[in-house]
Amino acid sequence: MKREQKKPLIGIVIGAVLTALAPLVGLLITIASVNRSFAKVEGNSVDPADKAKVLASGISSSMNATAIGIGLGALGLLVLVVSILLFLRATTSQRQPPSEGTP
């Protein structure tokens, strides 16, 4: 396999992995963060007047994790699409027959 074909293949693998795993990691961090937020306000460890603030702060960081996961997934999808297009361009340019009149 030629070198110009290997680079897009590496991009395809990276893009596919990033597209698949980034949202899942973001979701996992979101769930863990929400659980941690509810654990902080559970029981009598936090003043009842401050429970809403503590919970809102934890949920805010959870939503940040979700946004980061979705953003990285979108970036991975972009890398995947560009890499596939580069790979297809490299493979189709090799298959084209020589034009008439060239020896």
Q: Is residue 41 part of a domain?
A: yes
How far is residue 23 CA from its own chain's centroid? Answer: 6
Q: Is residue 62 part of a domain?
A: yes
- Is the pLDDT at 8 greater than 70? The verdict is yes
Q: Is residue 51 part of a domain?
A: yes
pLDDT digits (tens, 9 = 90+) for 9-59: 888 888 899 889 999 999 999 999 999 989 988 888 888 888 899 899 999
Sign of CA dihedral 68, 69, 72, 77: negative
Tokens in use for 71? 């953003």
By the 8 A CB rule, do 65 and 29 touch? yes
Q: Is residue 7 part of a domain?
A: no
| pLDDT band with cut points at 50, 70 and 90 for residue 100 | low
Q: Is residue 101 part of a domain?
A: no
Domain containing 28 equals 21-93
Q: Is residue 70 part of a domain?
A: yes
Q: Is residue 1 part of a domain?
A: no
Instruction: Report the domain count for the chain.
Output: 1
Provide CB contacts within 8 A for 22, sequence distance 6+. 69, 70, 71, 72, 73, 75, 76
- The predicted model scores a pTM of 0.71
